[in-house]
């Protein structure tokens, strides 16, 4: 989920004073975020159901969905890498109103929350996110006077027939991120269930499978519908080749596995992480976030800015007892300035407690990937899952990318523009996949073109993250007065379908005047991108399905390299003396990252590893302790006497370094320090040597 960037009104009424913290918290934290036979039964077209509910929404697309592959054997189609179909079940069940489907029909599915009747007076979250007084016509089917709308963030946008229209318009991958936030649930006035995050995740997963069954029944039975939940890349490829929609389950929640931190003390352990990952995997989840909005026991977050950032910071303190802490960034990536804008949320802090002041130049979170977070990352790798880096702090993201580079693991995703774009090439070089938030066509096209050269370099496609039901806001109408409005009907990107204005009940939507009001308007938005940004942007999006599957299959087929250095003999120029522990050279090759080799406090120092016999070497990983090498070389030798430099750097910054070079025969590997990065010596937790 993302967040609303809009001013919030202040109310003169005493009853709404407490909304200051609640409103900003909800807006920010939520970003985390049998049918009856139809009398007009379809013919034999495989894409048209024989038992669509009646009445129901129109699809307003004609023509057969494309199947198969292109001449290069690649699948085609658009990828929505970030959506929240079941968010109406999150946050206590009354934040997002309406359902994506109902066995009782569309009138039951697309109705407002009970407290919104008769005129929206108690639509508190609508008041918070949209402004005004929250009043609106609560009636959904069949009139839809006020919702769904591009700026109405409390109403269902993912009705199944609208998703069907997006599929018919060319989408072939949809990632359904199961989402919730326990803090939002606890502070929101209306709820009909408890706030445990994992309980909500389980429910949303089950209901996604139920929705698949609901659609299957329209097409004659199990496995026959177009909505196919997939759990591996081979399944996904088969589904897409059949012309159907591959649905992937993901998770975006703030405290996965209960991994909250209170006063910097984790509320989970490794057993909780293993059990949680196993459970999610068994549910079919194949991608997930490890942190979102609040610092948790796994990682620090990328900040929000200004008054909104202040509100989240207050919320974090009230939930965890800690405020964000910042430091100067060491590279071009940044976590955003928090700012000191007043949000009204400060009034809810305990007496004598104040929000810290932050230096404008200190824009990075001091909290990175914790030891438990690293354990979770490696657990995801073992299970061949893909990791979402959006919302992670710069420090956490850098460590994740270091780990993935050291292990040559490609399973990294950025799904909705919450990654600093300076990470883009590292993601692509690993084999990862990048999507952009569903911005307006002009903004989307401009951002896409900023990274176009990198996509050309790595030969990859592009995705979008609609984040619908995620309380983020969607493209506003450009208006019919523009020089190049969407003209209805238009032809799909593949040329095989004709797409007209979408009608549900008595309401017909037009992207030019209504904006991206619901999921059924995704094809219209893509046509708008073609008109504004050009065919090249849309072509990159149409290659998205193949690229996403490329990341997934590479993750599944990844094999951990054999560390040739583990347990081998090691010597060094020196070892720091300590009466309580050993910093001997062998500590850097014992397979335990909790031990280390440390040298004397001088620049010219080395660590030498004997592999036991001559091996082909082409990769060395160095996991530095705080005392790192700023300038050092990786040297190779077959006899321990004659050395050649295989790799060197003069700009080391610590952390986990990976040195890659051409395949070279060597029995001995030497890390030769030339210039220290600190006043201490050189200290390595572990050195890995690999043949690939």
For 284-328, what is each residue's pLDDT tens digit? 999 999 999 899 999 999 998 877 788 888 888 988 999 999 999
Contact 313, 305 (CB under 8 A): no
pLDDT band at 363 (very low <50, low <70, confident <90, very high): very high
Across the range 42-66, mean pLDDT stands at: 92
Contact 168, 231 (CB under 8 A): no
Tokens 């984040």 found at = 467
Strand order in the sheet with 61-62: 61-62, 498-499, 490-491
The pTM assigned to this predicted structure is 0.92
Among 254, 279, 283, 99, residue whose Cα is nearest residue 180: 254
- With b meaning 16 or more CB within 10 Å and e meaning fewer, what string describes 114-125? ebbeeebebbbb
Percentage, residues of the chain above pLDDT 70 = 93
Among 125, 130, 105, 129, residue whose Cα is nearest residue 113: 125
Look at residue 341 in the predicted model and tell me its pLDDT: 61
Residue 10, pLDDT > 60, answer: no
**How many CA atoms are closer than 13 Å to the CA of 417, on its beta-carbon side?**
20
Residue 14: φ, ψ to 5°: -60, -35
At 594-610, the pLDDT tens digits run 999 999 999 999 999 99
Look at residue 201 in the predicted model and tell me its pLDDT: 97
CA distance linking residue 292 with residue 464, whole number of Å? 19
Partners of residue 245 on adjacent β-strands: 227
Among 314, 319, 308, 321, residue whose Cα is nearest residue 348: 314
Within 489-543, where are the H helices?
511-514, 522-533, 535-542
Residue 108: φ, ψ to 5°: -80, -35
| CA of residue 624 relative to chain centroid, distance | 28
* The pair of three-digit structure tokens given for residue 302, joined into one six-digit string: 């990328």
Report the greatest alpha carbon distance in the chain.
87
Across the range 257-265, mean pLDDT stands at: 95
Residue 39, pLDDT > 80, answer: no
Look at residue 187 in the predicted model and tell me its pLDDT: 82
* The pair of three-digit structure tokens given for residue 578, joined into one six-digit string: 């300590």
Look at residue 308 in the predicted model and tell me its pLDDT: 74
**What CATH homologous superfamily does 78-94+159-290+379-557 map to?**
Metal-dependent hydrolases (3.20.20.140)
Across the range 133-153, mean pLDDT stands at: 93
Tokens 């004609």 found at = 62
Look at residue 13 in the predicted model and tell me its pLDDT: 39
At 199-249, the pLDDT tens digits run 999 999 999 999 999 999 999 999 999 999 999 999 999 999 999 999 999
Mean pLDDT lowest among 19-28, 156-165, 278-287: 19-28
Contact 684, 590 (CB under 8 A): no
- The single-letter DSSP state of residue 48 is S
CA distance linking residue 312 with residue 510, whole number of Å? 36
CA distance linking residue 150 with residue 520, whole number of Å? 12
CA distance linking residue 88 with residue 185, whole number of Å? 12
Across the range 384-408, mean pLDDT stands at: 97
Look at residue 276 in the predicted model and tell me its pLDDT: 98
CA distance linking residue 664 with residue 636, whole number of Å? 8
Contact 298, 369 (CB under 8 A): yes
Domain boundaries, the chain: 78-94+159-290+379-557, 301-366, 569-690
Pick the CATH number of 569-690 from 2.60.120.260, 1.10.287.40, 3.30.930.10, 3.30.365.10: 2.60.120.260
For residues 479 and 488, the model is more confident at 488
Across the range 13-19, mean pLDDT stands at: 41
Percentage, residues of the chain above pLDDT 90 = 82
- With b meaning 16 or more CB within 10 Å and e meaning fewer, what string describes 288-299? bbbbbbbbbbbb
Across the range 114-133, mean pLDDT stands at: 84
Instruction: Provide the 10 A C-beta neighbour count for residue 142.
Output: 14
Burial class (CB in 10 A: 0-12, 13-18, 19+), 563: middle
Look at residue 23 in the predicted model and tell me its pLDDT: 52
CA distance linking residue 404 with residue 399, whole number of Å? 9
At 502-550, the pLDDT tens digits run 999 999 999 999 999 999 999 999 999 999 999 999 999 999 999 999 9
Beta strand residue intervals within 548-652, DSSP E: 569-572, 597-598, 605-624, 629-637, 644-649
Across the range 158-180, mean pLDDT stands at: 98
Q: Give residues with Cβ within 8 angstroms of 218, minimum separation 6.
A: 35, 49, 50, 51, 52, 53, 225
Among 28, 685, 121, 669, residue whose Cα is nearest residue 343: 28
Give the H/E segment covering residue 373. Answer: helix 371-382
CA distance linking residue 49 with residue 262, whole number of Å? 52
pLDDT band at 351 (very low <50, low <70, confident <90, very high): confident
Contact 544, 552 (CB under 8 A): no
pLDDT band at 40 (very low <50, low <70, confident <90, very high): very low
Residue 86, pLDDT > 80, answer: yes
Residue 261, pLDDT > 70, answer: yes
Residue 18, pLDDT > 80, answer: no
Contact 682, 627 (CB under 8 A): yes
- How does the average pLDDT of the chain come out, rounded? 92
Residue 264, pLDDT > 70, answer: yes
- The single-letter DSSP state of residue 629 is E
Mean pLDDT lowest among 6-15, 335-344, 387-396, 626-635: 6-15
* The pair of three-digit structure tokens given for residue 256, joined into one six-digit string: 């996965």
Strands 433-437 and 61-62, sheet pairing: unpaired
Residue 22, pLDDT > 60, answer: no
């Amino acid at each position: 989920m993302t967040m609303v960037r809009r001013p919030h009104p202040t109310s003169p009424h005493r009853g709404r004073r407490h909304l200051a913290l609640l409103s900003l918290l909800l807006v920010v934290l939520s970003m985390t975020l049998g049918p009856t036979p139809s009398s007009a039964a379809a013919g034999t077209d495989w894409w048209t159901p024989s038992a669509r509910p009646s009445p129901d929404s129109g699809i307003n697309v004609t023509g057969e969905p494309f199947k198969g592959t292109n001449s290069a054997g690649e699948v085609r189609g658009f990828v929505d890498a970030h959506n929240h179909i079941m968010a109406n079940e999150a946050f206590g069940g009354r934040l997002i109103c309406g359902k994506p489907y109902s066995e009782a029909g569309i009138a039951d599915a697309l109705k407002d929350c009970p407290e919104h009747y008769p005129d929206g007076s108690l639509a508190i979250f609508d008041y918070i996110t949209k402004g005004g007084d929250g009043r609106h016509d609560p009636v959904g089917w069949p009139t839809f006077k006020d919702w769904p709308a591009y700026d109405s963030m409390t109403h269902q946008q993912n009705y199944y027939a609208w998703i069907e229209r997006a599929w018919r318009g060319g989408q072939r991958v949809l990632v359904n991120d199961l989402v919730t936030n326990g803090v939002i649930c606890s502070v929101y006035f209306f709820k009909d269930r408890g706030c445990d995050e994992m309980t909500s995740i389980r429910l949303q997963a089950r209901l996604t499978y139920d929705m698949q069954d609901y659609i299957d029944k329209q097409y004659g039975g199990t496995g026959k519908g177009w909505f196919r939940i997939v759990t591996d890349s081979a399944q996904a490829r088969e589904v897409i080749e059949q012309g159907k929609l591959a649905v992937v389950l993901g998770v975006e929640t703030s405290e996965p596995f209960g991994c909250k931190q209170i006063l910097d003390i984790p509320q989970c352990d490794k057993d909780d992480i293993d059990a949680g990952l196993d459970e999610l995997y068994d549910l079919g989840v194949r991608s997930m976030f490890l942190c979102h909005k609040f610092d948790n026991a796994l990682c620090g977050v990328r900040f929000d800015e200004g008054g909104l950032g202040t509100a989240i910071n207050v919320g974090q303190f009230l939930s965890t007892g800690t405020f964000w802490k910042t430091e100067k960034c060491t590279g071009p990536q940044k976590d955003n300035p928090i700012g000191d804008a007043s949000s009204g949320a400060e009034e809810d802090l305990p007496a004598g407690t104040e929000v810290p002041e932050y230096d404008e130049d200190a824009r990075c979170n001091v909290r990175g990937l914790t030891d438990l977070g690293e354990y979770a990352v490696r657990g995801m790798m073992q299970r061949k899952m893909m990791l979402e880096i959006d919302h992670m702090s710069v420090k956490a993201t850098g460590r994740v990318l270091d780990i993935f580079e050291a292990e040559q693991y490609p399973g990294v995703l950025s799904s909705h523009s919450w990654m600093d774009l300076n990470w883009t090439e590292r993601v692509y070089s690993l084999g990862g996949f990048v999507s952009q938030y569903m911005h307006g066509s002009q903004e989307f096209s401009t951002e896409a073109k900023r990274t176009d050269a990198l996509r050309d370099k790595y030969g990859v496609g592009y995705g979008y993250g609609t984040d619908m039901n995620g309380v983020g806001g969607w493209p506003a109408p450009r208006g019919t007065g523009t020089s190049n409005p969407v003209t209805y009907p238009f032809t799909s990107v593949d040329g095989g379908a004709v797409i007209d204005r979408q009608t549900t009940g008595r309401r017909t939507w037009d992207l030019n005047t209504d904006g991206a009001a619901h999921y059924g308007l995704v094809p219209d938005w893509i046509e708008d991108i073609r008109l504004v940004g050009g065919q090249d942007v849309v072509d990159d999006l149409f290659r998205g399905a193949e690229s996403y599957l490329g990341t997934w299959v590479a993750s599944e087929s990844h094999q951990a390299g054999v560390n040739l250095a583990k347990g081998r003999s090691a010597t060094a120029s020196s070892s720091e003396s300590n009466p309580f522990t050993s910093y001997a050279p062998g500590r850097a090759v014992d397979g335990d990252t909790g031990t280390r080799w440390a040298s004397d406090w001088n620049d010219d120092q080395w660590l030498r590893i004997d592999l036991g016999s001559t091996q082909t070497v082409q990769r060395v990983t160095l996991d530095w302790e705080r005392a790192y090498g700023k300038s050092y070389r990786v040297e190779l030798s077959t006899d321990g006497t004659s050395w050649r430099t295989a790799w060197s750097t003069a700009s080391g910054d610590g952390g986990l370094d990976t040195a890659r070079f051409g395949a070279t025969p060597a029995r001995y590997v030497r890390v030769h320090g030339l210039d220290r990065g600190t006043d201490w010596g050189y200290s390595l937790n572990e050195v890995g040597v690999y043949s690939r």
